[in-house]
């Protein structure tokens, strides 16, 4: 006889409020339903009431982890509409902040994964490492969460001491290679909770149109930084890690390898950081009528912003955000079917869900 277990919306197994309704036979999950919307703030509607400066600050608050992705996306969309070229130094600074954000997001996720598989030492190690990245972001921007780095046509702050950033990046890289990767790829305790768990095969990943590390762990080599490069990514060398097994372990490995790739990108960007202007236009930017479509590869995958202006008002006519978790979360239902109940927390966490983003 099947029975139902409701997890959430507020539960220790969940990082953020949402609800999983599981239908189980004994210890086996037969089906799952997801309920979201507990963080719904009508941000898209609010964006229609903010001017072209205030809307950047508003969109930064869509997410408390990948806040920079949102300001960069909305700025890129507005730059498309205004046909603005971003100065080379600003394009590199955007890459540096975006990759630092990916680093701290992936390290945070590794810590959460460690906690959920009962490896609390790993949780502490990851969060300690993440602090180092947060310190660097604070040194660059003056803030640990909402960096306010992006403006239409450029960035708000320069990176005055690239060598200090480089030292921190090298420290993170060493520690990831020394502890995180060996544990998640070699520890029998960790692997026993991850191998063959929560599988999403390539065909289903394609059908569900999942993005980011979730897609790449199911054999889909998609990455907007390569497929449709923005900022300065076309001038930098990096690999896109892809795994084919589609399980929790694959999602762990992809993110761990992406940390190293981010470090590689950061080293190049810091070394090549061009001299010159980084602010962009100093006068108010005229915003004609039009629609800008901006896509970025956030830590959780592709983010799309569709911004429409009417050329008359100083507010956007429409701002639509498609976040990566919005694309990835329906796949959790597929991953959970047939899984052990005890694996449900790590399976749902393995897509690195962000409900602040998803609900907006």
* 13 vs 334: CA distance, rounded Å: 19
Nearer to another protein, 84 or 341 (CB): 84
- Stretch touching another protein by CB under 8 A, among 122-130, 157-165, 225-233, 242-250: 225-233
Q: Which of 11, 61, 206, 264 binds another protein (CB under 8 A)?
A: 206
Q: Is 322 in the site for another protein (CB under 8 A)?
A: yes
Q: Which of residues 31-50 bind another protein (CB under 8 A)?
A: 33, 35-37, 40, 42, 44-45
Q: Least distance in Å: CB of 316 to another protein?
A: 11
Nearer to another protein, 73 or 156 (CB): 73
Q: Judged by CB under 8 A, how many residues of this single chain contact another protein?
A: 38
Nearer to another protein, 138 or 310 (CB): 310
Q: Is 228 in the site for another protein (CB under 8 A)?
A: yes
Q: Is 201 in the site for another protein (CB under 8 A)?
A: no
Q: Is 207 in the site for another protein (CB under 8 A)?
A: yes
Q: Least distance in Å: CB of 3 to another protein?
A: 21
Letters for 327-346 (x = contact with another protein by CB under 8 A, - = none) are x-xx----------------
Q: Largest alpha-carbon pair distance within the chain? A: 69
Q: Which of residues 73-102 bind another protein (CB under 8 A)?
A: 80-81, 83
Residue keyed to tokens 């992406």: 258
Letters for 271-310 (x = contact with another protein by CB under 8 A, - = none) are -------------------xxxx-x------x-x-x-x-x
> For residue 321, how far is the Cα from the chain centroid?
14
Q: Least distance in Å: CB of 295 to another protein?
A: 7
Contact 55, 315 (CB under 8 A): yes
Site residues (CB under 8 A) for another protein? Answer: 33, 35-37, 40, 42, 44-45, 80-81, 83, 206-209, 222, 226-228, 290-293, 295, 302, 304, 306, 308, 310, 317-318, 320, 322, 326-327, 329-330, 359
């Amino acid at each position: 006889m099947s029975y139902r277990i409701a997890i959430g919306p507020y539960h220790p197994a969940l990082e953020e409020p949402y609800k999983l309704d599981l239908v189980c036979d004994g210890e086996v999950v037969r089906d799952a339903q997801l309920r979201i919307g507990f963080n719904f703030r009508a941000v898209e509607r609010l964006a229609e009431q903010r001017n072209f400066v205030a809307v950047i600050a508003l969109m930064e608050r869509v997410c408390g982890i990948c806040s920079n992705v949102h300001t960069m996306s909305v700025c890129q969309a507005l730059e498309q509409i205004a046909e603005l070229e971003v100065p080379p130094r600003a394009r590199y600074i955007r890459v540096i902040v975006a990759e630092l954000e990916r680093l701290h997001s992936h390290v945070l996720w590794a810590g959460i994964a460690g906690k959920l598989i009962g490896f609390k030492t790993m949780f502490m190690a990851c969060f300690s490492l993440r602090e180092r990245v947060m310190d660097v972001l604070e040194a660059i921007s003056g803030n640990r969460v909402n960096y306010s780095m992006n403006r239409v046509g450029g960035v708000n702050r320069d990176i005055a001491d690239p060598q200090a950033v480089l030292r921190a990046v090298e420290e993170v890289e060493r520690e990831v290679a020394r502890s995180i990767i060996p544990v998640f790829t070699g520890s029998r305790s960790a692997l026993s909770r991850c191998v063959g768990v929560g599988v999403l095969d390539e065909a289903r990943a394609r059908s569900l149109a999942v993005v980011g590390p979730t897609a790449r762990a199911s054999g889909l080599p998609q990455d907007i930084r390569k497929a449709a490069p923005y900022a300065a990514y076309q001038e930098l060398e990096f690999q896109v890690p892809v795994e084919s097994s589609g399980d929790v372990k694959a999602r762990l490995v992809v993110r761990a390898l992406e940390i190293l790739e981010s470090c590689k990108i950061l080293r190049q960007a810091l070394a090549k950081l061009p001299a010159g202007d980084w602010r962009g236009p100093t006068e108010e930017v005229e915003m004609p009528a039009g629609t800008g479509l901006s896509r970025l590869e956030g830590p959780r995958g592709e983010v799309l912003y569709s911004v429409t202006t009417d050329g008359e008002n100083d507010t956007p006519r429409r701002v639509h955000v498609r976040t990566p978790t919005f694309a990835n979360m329906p796949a959790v239902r597929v991953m959970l079917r047939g899984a052990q109940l005890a694996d449900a927390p790590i399976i749902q966490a393995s897509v690195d869900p962000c409900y602040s983003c998803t609900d907006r």
